[in-house]
Amino acid sequence: MSDQSKKQQPESVRRLMEMGRRFLGGEPKPQPAVERRAGMRVELSLAVQAKVEEGAWQTARIRDVNLTGLRLEPAGDARPGQTVTIQFEGYPGVAPAFSLVGRVSRLIADPNAPGDSLAMAVQVDRVATSEEARKNYRILVLHYVRHRPLLEDVDKGYFEGRCASCGWVGRVGQRKPQCPHCGGTRLAPV
């Protein structure tokens, strides 16, 4: 039946024909995708060190996170079910260095190169990860969700500090922290 003849039919006949088509196995209406995550996902990009099973440590980047898992790029040779250890550096004034242990729950395919994995979804293993590390992960995620511009500064080598001499607070470089107000070099992370 052409689109033109469908438009000419009364509404009730069109609905009846569509119900019959669905009942007899015609094209179903597309269903919305089901969200599988336990919590809200947040875009967060941080450089970390990661290793799969007993492999070598590699520089990686986490992307979307929630409190129970994260997306880690690149996936490398990881396979679902394997153990992943993720080492977070210390973040001045936010959280000390800590490690999370998780399991690869699925691989995320690269749309530009079929057959290649772009990233892996990692579920945090609450038994293998210490309570202190889970607490630091939560603090880190919530801090950068609330202070997104600071995340860009951390990636560029800056941190938010307070001058011990004059009390000035602002962004300073990690290599040579110096107060722009008084020239002091004793700056503590805020």
pLDDT at res. 141: 81
Contact 188, 172 (CB under 8 A): no
CA 43 to chain centre: 5
Find the helix or strand (DSSP H, E) in which 186 lies.
Answer: none
pLDDT at res. 27: 56
- Quote the CA–CA distance of 122 and 130 in Å, as a whole number: 16
Q: What DSSP assignment string belongs to 37-101?
A: -SS--EEEEEEEEEEETT---EEEEEEEEETTEEEEE--TT--TT-EEEEEEPPBTTTB--EEEE
Quick: pLDDT tens for 73-104.
Answer: 988 888 999 999 999 987 777 889 999 999 99
Average pLDDT over residues 186-190: 76
- Quote the CA–CA distance of 91 and 99 in Å, as a whole number: 13
Q: Which of 59, 58, 62 minimizes the C-alpha distance to 45?
A: 62
